């Protein structure tokens, strides 16, 4: 082995050893910093409801769950909290002063940036569980540059890269920073005062095949004022499992929704 090749091999060995140390430190830091479950619930828009007489504290509650977690149930908890506040839950919307309609859109793993995006989109907005694709691309580019730059190190250099990849993979598999996110859209309808007429204008754009679309507008008179908001709940912990996060996500979402009344 010549002087130049030996120099490249030594540089690669030092770099790989340093990277392995960093990987191990990162795993230890994550396991300590994220050892406790952290649950947060945020609302995109605040809804203010006017105070009403005790006889008007009636709510029609309609909770739907269109996520893939069929056991994520908040209907019962929300009803119990509202009843504890003096509200009566009625199955007849015509007899209710308030309509509370809730749709749990998604309960799944996500990144912190995806949670912020879902909250910023507001009621009915798009959302996604943005993962670590960008980070993966950056790591891939860096690894490619390293291999290209250290090509003169030959087989020994490639073996070092492979060893680093193995250590990093093992560390990442053992210690994972996991976030579960629940995205929920909420609509509250409140009966207008006597003599007040509410006009509701709506527009809907629907796609028709490839390149086609149809726009539909409608106007109707109602006696209900409607308010909409989105609630995003997150649970974060190292190596978090859904079963461990479900109860706290449900409690946080229940407090947020029932807190509007």
CA distance 161 to 159: 5
Could you read off the pLDDT of 82-97 as tens digits, one per residue? 999 999 999 999 999 9
Compute the average pLDDT of residues 20-34. 54
What is the average pLDDT value for the chain, to the nearest integer?
A: 76
Instruction: Say what percent of the chain tops pLDDT 90.
Output: 43
* Structure confidence at residue 139 as a pLDDT band (50, 70, 90): very low
Q: Which residue did the predictor score with more confidence, 25 or 103? A: 103
So where are the chain's domains?
3-34+132-176, 38-130+178-258
Q: In what order do the strands lie in the sheet with 88-89?
A: 38-43, 224-238, 177-191, 98-109, 58-65, 88-89
- Tell me what pLDDT residue 118 has: 80
Question: What integer pLDDT is reported at residue 183 of this predicted model?
Answer: 94
Residue 218's alpha-carbon distances to 55, 84, 200, 221, 223, in angstroms, are 34, 39, 8, 10, 16
- Per-residue pLDDT averaged across 19-32, rounded? 53
Q: Transcribe 113-145 into DSSP letters.
A: HHHHHHHHH-TT-------SHHHHHHHHHHHHH
What pTM does this model have?
0.65
- Residue-wise pLDDT for 104-124, tens only, equals 999 999 887 787 788 777 777
- Residue 253, helix vs strand vs coil: helix
Higher pLDDT, 254 or 133: 254
pLDDT of residue 223: 78
Q: What is the pLDDT of residue 7?
A: 57
Between CA 118 and CA 104 the distance in angstroms is 13
């Amino acid at each position: 082995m010549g002087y130049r090749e030996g120099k490249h091999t030594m540089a690669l060995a030092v770099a790989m050893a340093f990277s392995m140390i960093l990987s191990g430190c990162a795993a230890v830091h994550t396991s300590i910093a994220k050892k406790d479950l952290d649950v947060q619930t945020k609302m995109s828009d605040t809804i203010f409801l006017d105070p009403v007489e005790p006889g008007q504290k009636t709510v029609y509650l309609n909770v739907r769950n269109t996520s893939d977690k069929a056991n994520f149930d908040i209907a019962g908890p929300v009803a119990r909290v509202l009843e504890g506040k003096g509200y009566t839950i009625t199955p007849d919307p015509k007899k209710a002063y308030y309509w509370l309609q809730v749709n749990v859109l998604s309960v799944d793993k996500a990144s912190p940036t995806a949670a912020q995006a879902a909250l910023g989109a507001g009621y009915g907005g798009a959302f996604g569980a943005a993962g670590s694709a960008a980070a993966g691309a950056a790591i891939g580019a860096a690894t490619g540059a390293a291999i290209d730059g250290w090509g003169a190190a030959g087989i020994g250099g490639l073996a070092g890269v492979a060893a680093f990849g193995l250590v990093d993979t093992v560390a990442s598999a053992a210690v994972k920073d996991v976030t579960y996110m629940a995205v929920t859209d909420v609509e509250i309808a409140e009966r207008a005062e006597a003599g007040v007429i509410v006009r509701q204008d709506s527009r809907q754009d629907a796609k028709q095949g490839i390149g086609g679309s149809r726009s539909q507008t409608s106007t109707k008179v109602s006696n209900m004022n409607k308010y909409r908001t989105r609630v995003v709940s997150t649970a974060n912990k190292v190596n978090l499992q859904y079963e461990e996060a479900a109860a706290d996500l449900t409690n946080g979402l229940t407090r947020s929704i029932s807190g509007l009344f």
